[in-house]
Amino acid sequence: EHTPLYDIQRWAGQGGDSLFDTLLVFENYPVSQALQDSAPDGLGFGALGNREQTNFPLTLAVHLSDILNLHFTYANACHSRESIQGLGDQMVHLLMQMPGSDAQRRLGEFGLLDAPMHARVVEQWNATETAPRDARQVHQWVAFQAQRQPQAVAVLAEGQSLTYEQLNARANRLAHLLIERGVGPDVLVGLALQRGPLMVVGLLAILKAGGAYVPLDPAYPQDRLAYMVEDSGIALLLSERALEARFADSGVSCLALDGLDEALASRDERDPAVSPDGQNLAYVIYTSGSTGRPKGVGIRHSALSNHMAWMQDRLALQAEDRVLQKTAISFDASVWEFWLPLMSGAQLVLASPDLNLDLTRLWAEVARWRISVLQLAPSLLQALLPLARREQLATLRLLLCGGEALGQHLADQAMALFDGELHNLYGPTEATIDSTSHLVAAAEGDERRTVAIGRPLGNVRTYVLDCALQPCAIGAVGELYIAGDSLARGYHQRPALTAERFIPDPFARSGREGGRLYRTGDLVRYAADGVIEYIGRIDHQVKVRGLRIELGEIEARLRAQPEVREAVVLAPDGQALVAYVVAEAGALEPAEALLGERLKARLADHLPDFMVPGQVVFLDRLPLTTNGKLDRKALPAPDARPLQVAYVAPGSELELQVAAIWQDVLKLDQVGLGDDFFERGGHSLLAVNVVSRLQLELGMSLTPQLIFQHPVLGDFVAQLQQTGAPTSTSTLSRLEALLDEMEEV
């Protein structure tokens, strides 16, 4: 032996990864029968039983004798006993099929699961079929509630409220006007409104007219809005007078809802006779696209109705329940926040318009409105939880998390503050908001682990499959595929992409509608009880603070810039984006920091704020693996201070205390008085984290606005010692742009 295999493994690792993670050893050392026969009396030869350690995540030793012995040695940190047992069962089943089989048969043609296990993972754990509780669509449920309890409060907002009778009547009058303007089944109508009762009326009216709504977030850059309007082909746009100018050049007719009172006053208040089919579209929501442009996902009425029916059956909202609507309408998590309370006869509470300017007020908002149902991304929950007091959550009975992995430790902390239920939800936009659900129990496992994403919803089926579309054993990692009533119709005007992501369902029983599987790109595995555990992504799509981002869209925008030769974008910690750029010759002169700011400014003209990298790192070349592919893990850590900023050490006690908090929150080794919070990797949620730390540790009263107004540490500390400092127009503009993402989360 020239050198141990362990050293080769360690030396040859690429970008922090080992060269391999599985070792197969075939041992064929049978004790010779001749040796046994010639042995002196009293002396015998035989195999010695032993247990070996391994330096690798998994070692399989195969011993050949009269029978084939398989011996697995594994690291507990990488594999569970259940996963190894499942792997062993697969191996045995595979090997037992081979004797007598055609020698030319491909290995991929052999089944990996025996019949009982196949039935369990394919059928038993997908026995989710439920009879529909009613044939009504969501807007018809709202009309039903208006008849059942006309004077009950439907919508609450700052200084405004609507009863179910008022909401239904106003939506009906608008719906009749929309019908006159040509709206009907599968006709798309854009909606660009600030959060308020008019937005709810507009959403409901579009569905009542038979159309499908396309959310257009006014916070998005003009270029992105223009593209969504053109790509969707909307026939009409509902907006408000203050926003009409944003769409003046779109060529689409615009109705300002805040100027239609006189035109609608005499219109019919009865429900329109239009009855869209379940296969007609209810909405089209645009998500980040890997080709450089967002793509629209079309959701049918039947899928929306199925999801809402499951939520009501599971969560059982009552008339006294109040749901806080705080998610931006451009994200599908907002869909259930609108429709679940209204179809259930509960109360929809629209978050205060300025809540996104100071999310540290969230718990006060929950207490003020006596909210009973709340949705939060785990990253936002983690940032805000230290500020929560148990009495503020006294009315909260349901906390729903989704959009990203939920840590068990965070879940335990949250459940210690209120007496209700915590649900962890998972699902892509292409499968109508959520596909699986898990009711979290306190301390149900290792607090370092993430909470499972659970089991499929009603009339939804989930499969964990390998690359050959064969079911994986319990504990084995595979890609998650989704089938059933929740699937989207497809990508709007993108048949090729639809065919690529929505494939024929090989497990569909006769009579099952659709017969399609959606390829999520998410890596998961089954636990022994059938609960699904999330592992990661198979591609470069990421979730940053709960928001879905295709890194390819950002990279395509960067590569389109004349100064950029190559570009790659990462989300190293799942909280912030970092762009790595190889510039064209001479583009970095006179200073690379100036080019970085120019690139970020250009990206902001086309992308939402949460998709603009916080840092730009310039490299001479991108690192490659030995086979010539990009080695993402070899990219340097983005913690270098901007070149033009000299380090100035904190001096006073307050400067040292605040610098320590910034350093800890930003995960940096050093923070100086000249450092900019956002240039060093900060973002809105980390700003909330800093504020909560300052409040708890130093007893200071402030809002995240102060960081946006004074992002340089020295200026920030100086402002902490003052009160009532005026805010300039320029700082307000930056503040509003950066905090839009907080509403989206």
Give a three-class secondary structure readout of 348-405.
EEECCCCHHHCHHHHHHHHHHHCCCEEEECHHHHHHHHHHCCHHHHCCCCEEEEECCC
Alpha-carbon separation of residue 34 from 37, 45, 183, 534 (angstroms): 5, 11, 91, 55
Q: Which of 266-270, 335-339, 385-389, 571-575 has the lowest mean pLDDT?
A: 571-575
Classified by CATH at the fold level, domain 549-634 comes out as GMP Synthetase; Chain A, domain 3 (3.30.300)
pLDDT at 219: 87
pLDDT tens per residue, range 148-203: 999 999 999 999 999 999 999 999 999 999 999 999 999 999 999 999 999 999 99
pLDDT level of residue 16 (50, 70, 90 thresholds): very low
Lowest mean pLDDT among 408-417, 611-620, 678-687: 678-687
Residue 94 CA to residue 83 CA, distance in Å, equals 16
Q: Residue 628 — very low, low, confident or very high, per pLDDT cuts 50/70/90?
A: confident
pLDDT of residue 728: 40
Domain coordinates of the chain in residue numbers? 5-79, 549-634, 653-744
φ, ψ of residue 546 to 5 degrees: the values are: 85, 0
Grade residue 57 by pLDDT with cuts at 50, 70 and 90.
Answer: confident
Q: Which residue has the higher pLDDT, 681 or 615?
A: 615
Domain 653-744, CATH: 1.10.1200.10
The CB density around residue 60, as the number of other CB atoms within 10 Å, is 19
Please give the share of the chain, as a percent, with pLDDT higher than 70.
87
Candidates 176, 175, 146, 178; CA nearest to 162 is 146
Give the pLDDT score at 443: 64
Tell me, what's the pLDDT at 297? 97
Give the pLDDT confidence score for residue 38 in this predicted structure: 66
Residue 706, Ramachandran bin (φ over 0: left; ψ between -120 and 50: alpha; else beta):
alpha
Task: Give which of 301, 292, 146, 142 is closest to 211, Cα–Cα.
Answer: 301
pLDDT of residue 215: 97
pLDDT-derived band at 688, boundaries 50, 70, 90: confident
Q: Which residues, 6 or more positions from 123, have their beta carbon under 8 angstroms from its beta carbon?
A: none
Question: What is the Cα–Cα distance from 348 to 161, expressed in whole angstroms?
Answer: 10
Tens-digit pLDDT profile for residues 521-575? 999 999 889 999 999 888 777 877 667 888 888 998 999 899 999 999 988 776 7
pTM, whole model, 2 decimals? 0.82
Output the pLDDT for position 446. 58
Question: Contact, 462 vs 484, CB < 8 A?
Answer: no
Residue 729 has pLDDT above 70, yes or no: no
Is residue 10 very low, low, confident or very high in pLDDT (cuts 50, 70, 90)?
low
Q: Is the pLDDT of residue 742 over 60?
A: no
pLDDT of residue 18: 61
Is the pLDDT higher at 39 or at 413? 413
